[in-house]
């Protein structure tokens, strides 16, 4: 039968028992450990208690959010799932969240063994173990430090299935006067202010936390003749939108007719595409592999058009 224990209610019950049974003599089960810090790279520590007359409950207070726990009995059978873990007798509690994983096992009535899988967060993950019986309780605070960052392995893209669109945008507009009796050549750099924008997105919370800090650059696809392919372009793997340099330095001349004033408007066809990516990374110490998925969005300049209108 599954049990769902409310932490506040459990504390109140403990206080009532403690207050009503103050004259009852029991063995002091409490451990000498009250605070523990574990390395996020697979650390293991054991808490030893003076006696065996206690059960325990886990409460996460790291960032105010709740996390899923699985409770197993001493035979390895799953008995309970919930956001507050409570274990009577022998067995184990497993937290297997996207970024943090650890197991608290009670295979000996006087011991708790904490085994860390990893803490892929950038900050410590904190929780409290409360060991208690009807007469007394003990709070033990546990900090799991961040594990080493994953190392980038490779990235692939869906080059055959993607969304593509073209959008015309006004790039530049200005007024040019020509008081001469001959046409005046007005120089223009069509791609001078063109924006080549790239954005990585992911629905996975660990996407941009797992990898080692630094300017990680990866190959990205681009459009050529309406076909998506890998052509040597690179960009940073980051959640921030980034603007890449556009190498086209084409220069043209726009002829302004004699004795006229014209408005010159430069329009740019931007090619926009979105495609799925799959990034593979490996933990340098444990060898654990992660697969991160998401979408790459790209907006790059294409063909341009120049419109000339007499200005009155």
Does residue 23 surpass a pLDDT of 80?
no
pLDDT-derived band at 16, boundaries 50, 70, 90: very low
Q: What is the chain's Cα-based Rg?
A: 32
Q: Which residues contact 214 (CB under 8 A, 6 or more apart)?
A: none
* CA dihedral angle for residue 4, residue 5, residue 9, residue 11, rounded to 10 degrees: 180
CA 201 to CA 193: how far, in whole Å?
25
Burial profile 97-125: b = 16 or more Cβ within 10 angstroms, e = fewer:
bebbbbbbbbeeeeebebbbbbbbbeeeb
pLDDT-derived band at 101, boundaries 50, 70, 90: very high
What mean pLDDT comes out for the span 142-169? 94
Lowest mean pLDDT among 26-40, 112-126, 292-306: 26-40
């Amino acid at each position: 039968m599954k049990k769902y224990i409310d932490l506040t209610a459990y504390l109140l019950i403990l206080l009532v028992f403690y207050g009503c049974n103050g004259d009852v003599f029991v063995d002091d089960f409490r451990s000498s450990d009250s605070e523990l810090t574990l390395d996020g790279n697979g650390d293991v520590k054991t808490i030893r208690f003076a006696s065996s007359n206690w059960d325990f409950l886990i409460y996460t207070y790291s960032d105010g959010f709740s996390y899923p726990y699985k409770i197993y009995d001493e035979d390895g059978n799953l008995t309970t799932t919930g956001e507050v873990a409570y274990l009577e007798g022998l067995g184990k509690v497993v937290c297997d969240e996207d970024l943090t994983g650890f197991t608290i096992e009670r295979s000996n009535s006087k011991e708790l063994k904490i085994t860390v899988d990893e803490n892929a967060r950038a900050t410590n993950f904190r929780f409290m173990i409360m060991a208690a019986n009807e007469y007394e309780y003990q709070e033990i605070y546990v900090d799991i430090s961040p594990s080493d960052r994953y190392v980038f392995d490779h990235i692939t893209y869906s080059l055959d299935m993607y969304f593509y669109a073209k959008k015309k945008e006004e790039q530049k507009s200005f007024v040019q006067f020509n008081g001469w009796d001959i046409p005046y050549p007005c120089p223009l750099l069509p791609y001078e202010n063109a924006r080549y924008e790239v954005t990585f997105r992911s629905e996975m919370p660990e996407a941009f936390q797992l990898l080692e800090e630094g300017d990680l650059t990866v190959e990205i696809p681009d459009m050529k003749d309406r076909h998506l392919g890998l052509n040597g372009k690179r960009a940073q793997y980051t959640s921030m939108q980034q603007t890449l340099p556009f190498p086209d330095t084409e220069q043209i001349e726009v002829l302004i007719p004699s004795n006229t004033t014209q408005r010159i408007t430069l329009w740019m066809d931007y090619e926009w595409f979105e495609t799925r990516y799959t990034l593979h990374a490996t933990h340098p110490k444990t060898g654990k592999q992660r697969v991160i998925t998401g979408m790459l969005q790209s907006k790059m300049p294409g063909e341009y058009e120049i419109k000339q209108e007499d200005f009155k």
